Chain A
Amino acid sequence: MSEEKKPVLETRGLGISFGGLHAVSDFNISICSGELVGLIGPNGAGKTTVFNLLTGVYVPTEGTVLLNGVPLNGKKVHQFVAAGVARTFQNIRLFDDMTVIENVKVAFTKDIKYGLVDAFFRTPRFWREEEAMTKKAMELLAICGLEDKADVLASSLPYGQQRKLEIARALATDMKVLLLDEPAAGMNPTETAELLACINTIRDSFGIAILLIEHDMSLVMNVCERIQVIDYGVTIASGLPEEIAQNPKVIAAYLGE
């Protein structure tokens, strides 16, 4: 069914090398709206590097990233975000000295219409936009279960909630594709279950494409419709969860030959 739809995010022969090291090579993926795809692989396989390529942090040495069929070559990171790619980080990167709600509001910056004059002189437009934004931010925080923490400093949140705040902030960029880099890392089973519920809500209510990196196999097998496996930067398998679980190449890569 999803084969008939046009993919939102597509890559063609994406690759990057650092000096002599081919961190990622010939990476091809296509994701449609509403799909949840898992990206797995052993440590150092190049998963985070793929994310950095998809968000413009790294400039690919070969291949292209296409969003809705439009290539994003040569664009800056914030232009990737404006085009509709949002991400979270494996090692949490929040704005520590800002409140939870401010963290989310930063991601609205590009969509706010008021200018310097409105800000300096507090025009009605300023108040209107700020108010609308506060409301939207609170909605996003509610999705991630953080609405009662809106005014505390981001750094004072417990670990699991910091990860959720990263997701809320990514959602605020009004994205078409959401990239989650090990969102469950370091979480206890309850937190993971909450996160899972949160991800499902997002998928159902936003209708966006999600690409998920995760080491927790049960989580990946549970939520992902498709899984792509990479090892040493090369795609070794891709398909339905059950196929992946039985794939001898994948088993070999994980257990080591």
Chain B
Amino acid sequence: MKKNGIGRRYLINFIATAVFFILALVVCGNGGSRMKLSVVPSIWQCCYLIIMAASLNLVLGFLGQLSLGHCGFMAVGAYSAALISLAFQRAGFYEEKSGVAFLLVLLLSIVAAGVLAALLGVLVGIPALRLKGDYLAIITLGFGMIIVNVINNIPFCGQQGLGQGSASSALYATGLGFSNDEKVQYLWVALLTVILCLSLMFMFVRSKYGRAIRSIRDNEIASESSGVNVNYYKVLTFTVSAFFAGVTGALYACSNAALATTSFAFTNGSILNSVFIVVMVVVGGMGFLTGSVIAAVVLFLLNYTIKNGAWVAALPAFLQNVFTYPMLVYSIALIIVIVFRPKGIMGSSEFALCDIPKWKGWLQQYFASRKAGKEELRHE
């Protein structure tokens, strides 16, 4: 009985995902120039932000460790993917960004980016065995900075790049960097990567692994005393989280014409910043993957519309001034979320398709309880 229920859930989710996937491809493939110039590139950005937020949630929300260097893993992934694709191109494996050969290289670079980042994840996980809280935050922050500098100073990454042309400049012409047309053409790769990564993360947290790392977050001593090998699971979580961050790096390399280490640096003022990813996780709810997905999209849209949208221009002048400092707006948004929804915008439950029929009941319950609360006040 129970197992059938689970089977149905998987089926519903699978069908819904497949429908969404095909619909997105059809709509984006047949759109006009606006679709091509702004919507599809935005979807690419959302794709890597979603995986970034969800994978950081593994460490921050499920394991309960503050890591401020998540973009460092992304940088490693981005440069690995870029260099691998360039190497294959130089070797004459593919010429055009089409065909089976290129597709193989693309998939290889995505996986390799993840694996290389995961190896670094092991290294970062090891200090996490001894340090906690602020101290770990400082170490990971340092890691983010160091990685950027290391990449900058590797000759073939930063400056000369594989003998001719560098990863920083040659991506668009020869490597992964997609033009707007190619972004439409390969949108399925991005969407499929997101779907796969999210599914894998869900499977991870809903298994003994998820239980073990949540138990470490809730009470490390009790977890150890229940036979959980705390050190192993901590390093494993950092590794898995870094793997997915590395994968996003590959997507980043695809959606940008050139790579520059400054875009992964801590001082980066845009949305792609380790601290901003932390904000996404907190806003979405720590320990809730669907929350991270929604927060990543919402914050991306907020960021995007503040920069390009018309609604800011329609605001009164003094408010417009505030929006010239987007970081200020995000901080205010973060404070509002923490004060009013301390568990994140999603509250304390995962979004699940199967729960939609129950929503009506939940809403009625909610209003009934509010009404009851008011009555009580009146009686007093």
Contacts and interface: CB of A to CB of B under 8 A. Distances in A.
A95 B203 contact: no
A109 B211 CA distance: 8
Interface in A147-174: 169-170, 172-173
A95 B204 contact: no
A77 interface: yes
Given A77-B224, A94-B222, A97-B218, A106 B229 contact: no
A117 B227 CA distance: 22
B244 to A, nearest CB: 12
Interface string B1-15: 001000000000000
Contacts of A112: 208
A182 interface: no
Contacts of B218: 94-98
A55 B207 contact: no
A114 B211 CA distance: 14
A81 B227 contact: yes
Contacts of B219: 93-96
Interface in B163-219: 200, 203-204, 207-209, 211-212, 214-215, 217-219
A226 interface: no
Interface string A71-109: 000001110011000110100011111100011011111
A57 B200 CA distance: 35
A232 interface: no
A18 interface: no
Nearest to A129: B208
Please indicate which of the listed interface residues B208, B212, B229 has the most CB atoms of chain A within 10 Å of its own CB.
B208
B224 A78 contact: yes
Contacts of A57: 221, 225
A126 interface: yes
B225 A119 contact: no
Contacts, number: 94
Size range of the chain B interface in the assembly: 20 to 34
B203 A98 contact: no
B138 to A, nearest CB: 26
A131 interface: yes
A78 B227 contact: yes
Interface in A98-148: 98, 102-103, 105-110, 112, 114, 116, 119-122, 126-127, 130-131
B211 A98 contact: yes
A217 B207 CA distance: 43
B1 to A, nearest CB: 12
A97 B227 contact: no
A176 to B, nearest CB: 13
Highest count of chain A CB atoms <10 Å: which of B3, B221, B226, B230: B226
A256 to B, nearest CB: 33
B228 interface: yes
Contacts of B3: 127, 131
Q: Binding site of B, secondary structure by majority: helix, strand, loop or mixed?
A: helix
Contacts of B214: 95, 97-98, 102
A173 B222 CA distance: 12
A94 B226 CA distance: 10
Contacts of B226: 81, 86, 106-107, 109, 169-170, 172-173
A81 B221 CA distance: 12
A120 B203 contact: yes
A119 B228 contact: no
Contacts of A81: 224-227
Contact of B227 (A94, A110, A120): A110
A122 B221 contact: no
Given A119-B208, A119-B209, A107 B227 contact: yes
B200 A120 contact: yes
B227 A109 contact: yes
A4 B64 CA distance: 49
A119 B207 contact: yes
B72 interface: no
Contacts of B204: 116, 119-120
A116 B211 contact: no
A96 B223 CA distance: 12
A78 B221 contact: no
Nearest to A88: B225
B288 to A, nearest CB: 11
Contacts of A119: 203-204, 207-209
Contacts of B225: 55, 57, 77, 81, 86-87, 89, 93
B287 interface: yes
B215 A116 contact: no
Contacts of A170: 226
B236 to A, nearest CB: 8
A256 B214 CA distance: 45
Contacts of A106: 211-212, 215, 223, 226, 228
Given A77-B225, A106-B223, A120-B203, A97 B287 contact: yes
Contacts of B209: 116, 119
Interface of B: 3, 200, 203-204, 207-209, 211-212, 214-215, 217-219, 221-230, 287
Q: Which 9 pairs across A and B sit closest by C-beta, in order of nearness?
A: A119-B207, A81-B227, A93-B222, A95-B218, A110-B227, A107-B226, A77-B224, A106-B215, A95-B215
Given A57-B221, A93-B219, A102-B214, 4 more contacts: A81-B227, A97-B218, A97-B287, A108-B208
9 contacts: A55-B225, A81-B227, A96-B218, A97-B287, A114-B208, A116-B209, A120-B203, A121-B203, A126-B207
